[in-house]
Amino acid sequence: MRSYSCVFALSLLVFCGSPRAADSVPNFSGFWSRAVFGLEFPESGLGPTRNLSRKPDGTSNQSKAVGDYNNPNLTPAAAQLIKERSDVTARGEDYLNPSNQCLPMVAPYIFRVQGMEILQTKNEVLMLYMQDHQVRHVRLNGTHPGRVPPTWHGDSIGHYEGDTLVIDTVGVVAGPAAVLDQFGTPFSSALHVIERYRMIDYAEARAAQDRALREYGPPATEQGAIVDRDYKGAGLQVRFTVEDKTMFVQPWSGLATYLHASGEWVENVCAENVHEYYAAKDTNVPQASKPDF
């Protein structure tokens, strides 16, 4: 792990020191953090799955995720999967998802990782996430190949439209842990995600994060990327659209809003471990009374 961390750190230095593109390209550099894990809702129109389980104060009950499987925008296949996964969480257990299976995360699920940094070069944008050394590669001004071999993060191409970076992603792997959010919303190999990144002023970013906190409440445990409350500069916001005709009747949209993070970039790695650090207890695992052989 030590040698891998050094390579990762070296890559940061190399790309951060790379020549920038034309002055007209927006600058998204910085160490960014979100205030919540959940996806933010758009001002209008179809949005992310809501949690039917609420705390007494009305916020989403993060310890008991019950996705709204009655949402009419879900296909029968998607509604059934959300219902099955909600039944699992109702028993106090958890279904397979990238977080508990230590698997790469697709957008928009990957927005649950609070710490993020964007590195821009002439021909590529790299998106670094402070969990499991996840890196997304976005080719600039390219096209998707005629046949896209499925990969964990999919095939992402990007271009700038004025002050906005537009990313188009297809060709994702849809395995047994194929979820888009904390409430079990599934996706298929037909997933198509478009993200639009732009800088927004501090007041707008703070208001968006406050709305998200009113919906979800603060996370039970920070991921080492706490929002810097002393920072009053511009924020970074991504508006995304999800299309998957296998799972959704119509495309839906959402947001993820970032402000500068406080603290340092830490090595945050998922690993098999029976100890639940966030609950300060060990998970019960099956034990044999005698060896199998």
pLDDT tens-place string over residues 90-127: 888 889 999 888 899 999 999 999 999 999 999 999 99
The overall longest dimension of the chain from CA atoms, in Å, is 68
96 vs 289, which has greater pLDDT? 96
Rounded percentage of the chain residues whose pLDDT exceeds 70: 90
DSSP string, 162-211: TTEEEEEEE-B---TT-BSSTT--B--TT-EEEEEEEEE-HHHHHHHHHH
Closest to 3 in 3D by CA, of 137, 133, 126, 127? 133
φ, ψ of residue 3 to 5 degrees: the values are: -65, -35
Q: What is the pLDDT of residues 201-210, one digit of tens each?
A: 999 999 999 9
Specify the DSSP class assigned to residue 42: P
How many angstroms separate the Cα of 281 from the Cα of each of 91, 204, 277? 18, 39, 7
Residue with tokens 């990782």: 113
The token pair at 94 is: 């958890």
Tell me if residue 37 falls in helix, strand or coil.
coil
pTM: 0.85
Rounded to whole angstroms, the Cα distance separating 288 from 32 reads 46
Rounded to whole angstroms, the Cα distance separating 58 from 190 reads 35
> Is residue 15 pLDDT above 80, yes or no?
no
Residue with tokens 């992603």: 169
Residue type, 272: E
Q: What is the pLDDT of residues 152-202, one digit of tens each?
A: 999 999 999 999 999 999 999 998 899 999 999 999 999 999 999 999 999
**Domain spans in the chain, listed from the N-terminal domain onward:** 28-266
How many angstroms separate the Cα of 4 from the Cα of each of 7, 8, 53, 101, 130? 5, 6, 40, 21, 14
